[in-house]
A and B are shown apart, each in its own frame.
Chain A
Amino acid sequence: MRKTMILGVSLSILFIVIQPSYAYLDPGSGSMMLQVILGGLAGLGVLLKIFWRRIISFFGFGKKQEEKAENKIS
């Protein structure tokens, strides 16, 4: 039961978080993201925050803020 839950949650992350255009960065990124799921209950809060931002930008809200952040980082 727990395993199905974990599988479900992680597949959802992949579905929502992954966005189209990229360049190479840190190959350890996946392992870092996985730690959120492996963090158990404490990870749920973090997960929701990540989800929330993605959902919002997915629907076109708060996009300007996102672009600003991206430009800063890149």
Chain B
Amino acid sequence: MPLTVNPEILDRCLLEEGSFRDRNGRVFYFENSVYRALSQQALAEWNALQRTTFFPRFVAEGKLVRTEQVEASSFALSAMNNRWSAILKHESIPFISYPYEWCFGMLKDAALLQIELLLSALEEDFILKDASAFNVQWKGSMPVFIDILSFEKHQSGEPWAGYRQFCQMFLYPLMLQAYKNVSFQSWLRGSIDGMSSPSCRQLMSLRDLLRPGVLTHVYLQSLFESKFAKTHKDVKVNLRSAGFNKELIKANARRLLKLVKGLSWAVPKSVWTDYSNNNSYNSEDQKLKMEFVHEAVQSQRWNLVWDLGCNTGVFSRIAAENAEYVVSMDADQAVVERFYQELKQETRKTILPLLMNLADPSPGLGWRGMERKSLLDRGRPELTLCLALIHHMVISANIPLREFVSWLGSLGGSLVIEFITKEDPMVKTLLLNKKDNYEDYEVGNFEKCLAEFFHIVRRLELMSGTRILYFAKNKYPSYR
């Protein structure tokens, strides 16, 4: 029975722009919570899901998003256009992220979760009808599957429709990095639906055919795809009558599980992984810096903290002591991978490590450029840590100093920032082989720019004399 419309409430609901492909459900936001409207059909699927054993089990383990049906009448929330039969409420994900922001380990673990769910669902005659990487989100270092409408009753005799998408969004990108040592993030950001099998096949050499999974999932799939593209016959019907059953899907899924588990990326010994040993801090300065950050973090409880240029993550950990959630960003995948593996070991749920080039942060992508949100549209930080970063932005990335500080101001939160002078060995390294045109990059000018957007609360010059720390409050604070 369709729900009735309450026009006053309707204005305050915000539709999720990315939720439109599946016509049987629609995600929307109301008063800081996440809801999903269900059609008659989706409601039937949901009721069937509730009766399984795997669904509540995965929810209890934290791998499936906690979901409950809400009483539409007590809620007083309306259906839009009489299309909907029920409303579900989901637990909120603290900060949305996308596969092109994940390190290798994160995409791999998301893939493993997807297959694990598929295998468990099949035991009870359910199946995942798709395999989009966007269906997985994160609570810190723990992956959570959020698209419960992906589950549907398995029609006996039908093959797994999500297999191809699984390859495009998970397997091929992972193989690209594991086998060819080429990072997959740029590809996924440029190609929102993943890597096609012909593309993957082109990237694999003859030698790669010997690597696990390449002959079957890459080469053969590409071949079969092109050969069957023009078939007039209904392949599904043919397969069903030929006796296709879920055992075949399970066999394939188990092989995929083993294959993905075996994929690994040799983390390169990059400049940064040696950072903690080779930077220009003496240990006394490092201690002072940590105390400074600690004091700033303890000044109040923070809802969301961003650690820009997080490197080893030492300061993210300090921030996490007094924050609901910390998003740690770095442009170097080696450090993000290492940090992620550490957090995963600790089963930390409050720190999310992401790969992000701050000179080119994730833009809005997909349909109308709104399906996948730009970084700044996903939640503004109440506190931003910007330690040992500004010299990279101004000198390496050539961003004018005032513009960078202005951008930090536009984030809307308080700031802990470290300025490193040109006398510092690390900055001198950046200026090697470059003409020093960076007249704006000096302390006086920096403090002037900072004061334009912030009130400086505390200032500390480190012993080396080349590094100065600031804790500042935003002149124009704005929180979501």
Q: Does B244 contact A (CB under 8 A)?
A: yes
Highest count of chain A CB atoms <10 Å: which of B220, B225, B235: B220
B residues 192-225 near A (Cβ < 8 Å) are: 210, 215-217, 220-221, 223-225
Instruction: Judge whether A29 and B235 touch: CB under 8 Å.
Output: yes
Partner of B233, one of A27, A35, A38, A70: A70
B225 CB, nearest partner CB in chain A, Å: 4
Partner of B230, one of A14, A22, A53: A22
Instruction: Judge whether B159 and A32 touch: CB under 8 Å.
Output: yes
B119 CB, nearest partner CB in chain A, Å: 14
Instruction: Judge whether B224 and A31 touch: CB under 8 Å.
Output: yes
Chain A residues with CB below 8 A from B225, complex form? 27, 30-31
Question: Binary interface profile of B, 228-261, with partner A (CB < 8 Å = 1, else 0)?
Answer: 1111111111110011110111011001000000
By the criterion of a CB under 8 Å from any partner CB, how many residues of chain B are at the interface?
39
A residues 33-72 near B (Cβ < 8 Å) are: 33-43, 45-46, 49-50, 53, 70
The number of chain A residues touching the other chain, given as a range, is: 35 or more
Interface SS of A by simple majority:
helix
Instruction: Judge whether A74 and B216 touch: CB under 8 Å.
Output: no
Q: Does B12 contact A (CB under 8 A)?
A: no
Given contacts A32-B236, A73-B237, are A42 and B230 in contact (CB under 8 A)? no
Instruction: Judge whether A24 and B229 touch: CB under 8 Å.
Output: yes
Instruction: Judge whether A38 and B235 touch: CB under 8 Å.
Output: no
Instruction: Judge whether A30 and B228 touch: CB under 8 Å.
Output: yes
Closest chain B residue to A27, Cβ basis: B229
Q: Does B98 contact A (CB under 8 A)?
A: no
Chain A residues with CB below 8 A from B244, complex form? 35-36, 39, 46
Chain B residues with CB below 8 A from A53, complex form? 242
Partner of A29, one of B215, B228, B249: B228
Instruction: Judge whether B221 and A30 touch: CB under 8 Å.
Output: yes
Chain B residues with CB below 8 A from A27, complex form? 225, 229
Closest chain A residue to B244, Cβ basis: A46
Partner of B216, one of A24, A37, A42, A50: A37
Q: List 18 A-B contacts (CB under 8 A).
A: A7-B220, A14-B224, A23-B230, A24-B229, A25-B231, A29-B228, A29-B235, A30-B225, A30-B228, A32-B163, A32-B235, A33-B239, A34-B220, A35-B244, A35-B248, A35-B249, A36-B239, A45-B243
Give me 11 other A-B pairs in contact (C-beta within 8 A), A36-B239, A73-B233 excluded: A6-B220, A7-B215, A30-B226, A30-B227, A31-B159, A31-B221, A35-B159, A35-B244, A35-B249, A39-B244, A42-B248
Top 8 A-B residue pairs of the complex, sorted by shortest distance between their CB atoms: A39-B248, A30-B224, A30-B225, A30-B228, A31-B164, A22-B230, A29-B228, A40-B251
Chain A interface (Cβ < 8 Å from any Cβ of B): 3, 6-7, 10, 14, 18, 21-43, 45-46, 49-50, 53, 70, 73-74
